[in-house]
């Protein structure tokens, strides 16, 4: 009953008591009255579920702490504290009441709500049992309660996560990278060459979804086309703040364009037809909006799929730079319809957005994933903020090593050996595996780096788990059930969400590379091979990177075409 969000007094009536007594042979009359169910029984269930959650977290190498706030059905603010292991679990909930949501108050509320066992130095993991820890610095790193803290990019959240690093709660802090991709889609929508198509698609969607007669006429036309074997999507709409979702709107707009023209043409000759705004006529009848939308569609679609990939529970931290660097290569070589000025602007925005949200350790994770080696070869030395990717990587090693010169040299030596091994393709192909699993299986040759890599690659890319948990809060506390005390709401919220998460399969063990990641890596391989061919047979890509390996047809997506030797995205 706690998982489903039922009222505490649901079974506290004569009929249910008689039913329970009948089926139990008089031994059980029900869970009790609402005070018992919402009091001692709820607390005992919460303690049992939290113990199971802590056991799962203890077995996970890399811990990511996320925190997000929302307004409940009573217009009261609630903040969840999520641990991604890698499946998200609510480990605590706190409320600020009348206190302002400053960074200091948020951090104090977060720390005070954490179970004591999570703020203590962590025990040695199974990976290190029987192995001497090579340095005091590594010993200190392994003792951190959390390796990363992820929040959205509101100013108070940015300050709070930075204070968490300063206080020793986590080693690093960065923003939600799914939000980065969404903001890149917003940057795309601002471009004058694409604005007309996006606005026209939204105008069309709003009209045909809200005008009952227009929607009915379009539905009838689609039914006729379906009987003729032509499948047309229904009109789609998306949240205006979810910019990557505009790709869904544009796709349905282009799919329904001919049907919409037929509907509006028939309406013109109908004396009792419905009113149609001029903006809708322009979006449907003129060629320019459709042409602009067709140019914007593949860019937004790629961003939409990147965002979905980064929001997956077990998505490795390496996927952030891997996907963003692949998107940069696609902007430079894969969208021929985009104006050159738009390409340059969007490439600059990728670098700027990463600098605003990112952390050097994110780049180091990218270097430690063998799957994204082709993307590393495509690096042209551009600045991602104030540093190149190699500069961010070196800064991450310096931060991890601190003043321990021997530890830093061990990390650098292991990293050099690992990169040489991967570039020579002498090792086992790690692409089907989660990169943390790859390092556990094949990283014994680089023991110091292995300890860091297994944790770094297990960190979350986004705070999507925090957002998902608020759906459960909406079930526990709704407009029609809004008198429950905040403390009981928070307990039942944790029980309902965590119970479902505990029943899920091991996300890392069942992990598979997303189709988006495979397409991006396949496209980068084709682009690097084309650059090598243009530079001369057998030449190396710019920057002295080794030539790309042969292209595997299974890794190149059907959406990647070749036009005159140059890769193109559609």
Per the CB < 8 A criterion, the answer to whether 74 and 55 are in contact is no
Amino acid 548: pLDDT: 37
pLDDT at 566 over 80: no
- Mean residue pLDDT of the chain comes to 86
CA–CA gap between residue 474 and residue 479 (Å, rounded): 9
CB neighbourhood size of 28 (10 A): 11
Q: How large is the average pLDDT for residues 235-252?
A: 85
pLDDT at 193 over 90: no
pLDDT at 1 over 80: no
Model confidence over 3-31: pLDDT tens digits?
A: 666 777 788 888 888 988 899 898 888 88
Percent of the chain with pLDDT over 90: 56
CA–CA gap between residue 44 and residue 180 (Å, rounded): 40
pLDDT at 252 over 50: yes
- pLDDT grade, residue 505 (50/70/90)? confident
Specify the range with the lowest mean pLDDT, choosing from 200-209, 243-252, 333-342, 505-514.
Answer: 505-514
Amino acid 124: pLDDT: 54
Amino acid 117: pLDDT: 79
Q: How large is the average pLDDT for residues 400-426?
A: 89
Q: How large is the average pLDDT for residues 451-462?
A: 93
Per the CB < 8 A criterion, the answer to whether 334 and 569 are in contact is yes
Q: 506 versus 1: which is more confidently predicted?
A: 506
pLDDT at 556 over 70: no
CA–CA gap between residue 43 and residue 46 (Å, rounded): 5
CA–CA gap between residue 33 and residue 37 (Å, rounded): 6
Q: How large is the average pLDDT for residues 163-191?
A: 93
The end-to-end CA distance of the chain, in Å, is 49
Taking phi over 0 as left and psi of -120 to 50 as alpha, with beta for the rest, 360 belongs to alpha
Per the CB < 8 A criterion, the answer to whether 208 and 303 are in contact is no
CB neighbourhood size of 129 (10 A): 8
DSSP string for residues in 16-75: HHHHHHHHTTTS---S--HHHIIIIIHHHHHHHHHHHHHHHHHT-S--EEEEEEEE-TTS
307 contacts: CB under 8 Å, gap ≥ 6: 178, 181, 182, 185, 244
pLDDT at 529 over 90: no
Specify the range with the lowest mean pLDDT, choosing from 133-147, 409-423, 499-513.
Answer: 133-147
Amino acid 197: pLDDT: 94
Please confirm whether the linkage preceding 285 is cis (ω < 30° from 0).
no
pLDDT at 267 over 90: yes
* Residue tagged 């600020």 (tokens): 96
Per the CB < 8 A criterion, the answer to whether 457 and 317 are in contact is yes
- pLDDT grade, residue 299 (50/70/90)? very high
Q: How far is CA 362 from CA 64, 154, 175, 413, 470, in A?
A: 13, 20, 11, 20, 27
- Structure tokens, 289: 């909006």
User: Smallest Cα–Cα separation from 496: which of 507, 484, 506, 508?
Assistant: 484
Positive or negative, the CA dihedral 421, 427, 432, 435 is negative
Amino acid 134: pLDDT: 64
Per the CB < 8 A criterion, the answer to whether 376 and 547 are in contact is no
Amino acid 559: pLDDT: 41
- 354-365: buried (b, 16+ CB within 10 Å) or exposed (e) per residue? beebbbbbbbbb
pLDDT at 552 over 90: no
pLDDT at 175 over 90: yes
411 contacts: CB under 8 Å, gap ≥ 6: 397, 400, 401, 448, 449, 452
The pair phi, psi for residue 29, each rounded to 5°, is -110, 5
Per the CB < 8 A criterion, the answer to whether 211 and 281 are in contact is no
User: Smallest Cα–Cα separation from 14: which of 22, 3, 6?
Assistant: 22
What sections of 129-277 are H helices per DSSP?
136-142, 155-166, 177-189, 192-210, 212-227, 246-255, 257-268
User: Smallest Cα–Cα separation from 70: which of 489, 540, 368, 570?
Assistant: 489
């Amino acid at each position: 009953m706690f998982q489903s969000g039922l009222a505490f007094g649901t079974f506290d009536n004569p009929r249910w008591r008689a039913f329970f007594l009948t089926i139990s042979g008089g031994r059980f009359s029900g869970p009790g009255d609402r005070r018992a169910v919402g009091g001692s029984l709820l607390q005992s269930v919460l303690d049992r579920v939290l113990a199971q959650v802590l056991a799962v977290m203890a077995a996970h190498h890399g811990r990511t702490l996320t925190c997000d706030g929302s307004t409940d059905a009573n217009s009261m603010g609630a903040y969840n504290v999520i641990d991604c292991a890698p499946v998200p679990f609510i480990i605590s909930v706190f409320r600020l009441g009348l206190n302002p949501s400053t960074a200091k108050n948020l951090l104090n509320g977060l720390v005070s709500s954490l179970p004591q066992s999570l703020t203590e130095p962590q025990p040695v993991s199974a990976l290190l049992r029987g192995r001497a820890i090579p340095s005091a610095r590594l010993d200190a790193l392994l003792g951190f309660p959390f390796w990363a803290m992820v929040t959205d990019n509101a100013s108070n959240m940015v300050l709070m996560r930075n204070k968490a690093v300063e206080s020793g709660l986590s080693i690093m802090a960065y923003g939600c990278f799914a939000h980065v991709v969404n903001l890149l889609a917003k940057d795309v929508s601002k471009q004058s060459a694409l604005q007309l198509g996006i606005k026209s698609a939204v105008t069309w969607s709003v009209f045909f979804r809200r005008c009952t007669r227009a929607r009915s006429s379009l539905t009838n036309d689609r039914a006729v086309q379906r009987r003729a074997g032509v499948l047309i999507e229904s009109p789609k709409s998306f949240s205006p703040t979810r910019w990557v979702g505009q790709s869904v709107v544009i796709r349905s707009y282009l799919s329904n364009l001919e049907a919409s023209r037929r509907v509006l043409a028939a309406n013109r000759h109908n004396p009792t037809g419905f009113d149609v705004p001029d903006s809708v006529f322009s979006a449907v009848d003129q060629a320019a909006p459709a042409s602009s939308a067709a140019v914007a569609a593949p860019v937004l679609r790629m961003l939409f799929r990147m965002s979905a990939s980064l929001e997956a529970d077990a998505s490795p931290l390496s996927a952030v730079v891997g996907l963003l660097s692949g998107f940069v290569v696609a902007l430079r070589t894969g969208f021929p319809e985009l104006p050159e000025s738009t390409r340059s602007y969007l490439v600059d925005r990728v670098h700027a957005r990463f600098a605003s949200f990112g952390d050097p350790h994110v780049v180091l994770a990218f270097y430690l994933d063998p799957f994204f080696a082709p993307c590393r070869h495509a690096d042209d030395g551009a600045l991602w903020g104030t540093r190149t990717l190699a500069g961010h990587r070196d800064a991450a090693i310096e931060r991890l090593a601190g003043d321990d010169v021997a530890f830093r040299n061990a990390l650098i030596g292991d990293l050099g050996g690992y990169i040489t091994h991967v570039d020579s393709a002498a090792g086992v192909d790690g692409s089907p595996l989660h990169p943390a699993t790859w390092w556990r299986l094949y990283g014994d040759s680089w023991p110091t780096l292995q300890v860091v890599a297994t944790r770094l690659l297990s960190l979350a890319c986004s705070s999507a788990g925090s957002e998902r948990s608020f759906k459960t809060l909406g079930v526990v506390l709704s407009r029609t059930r809004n008198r429950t005390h905040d403390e009981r709401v928070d307990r039942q919220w944790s029980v309902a969400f965590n119970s479902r998460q505990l029943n899920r399969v091991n996300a890392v063990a069942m992990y598979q590379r997303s189709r988006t990641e495979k397409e991006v890596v396949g496209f980068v391989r084709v682009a690097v091979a084309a650059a090598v061919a243009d530079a001369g047979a057998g030449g190396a890509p710019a920057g002295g990177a080794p030539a790309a390996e042969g292209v595997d047809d299974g890794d190149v997506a059907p959406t990647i075409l070749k036009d005159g030797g140059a890769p193109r995205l559609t």
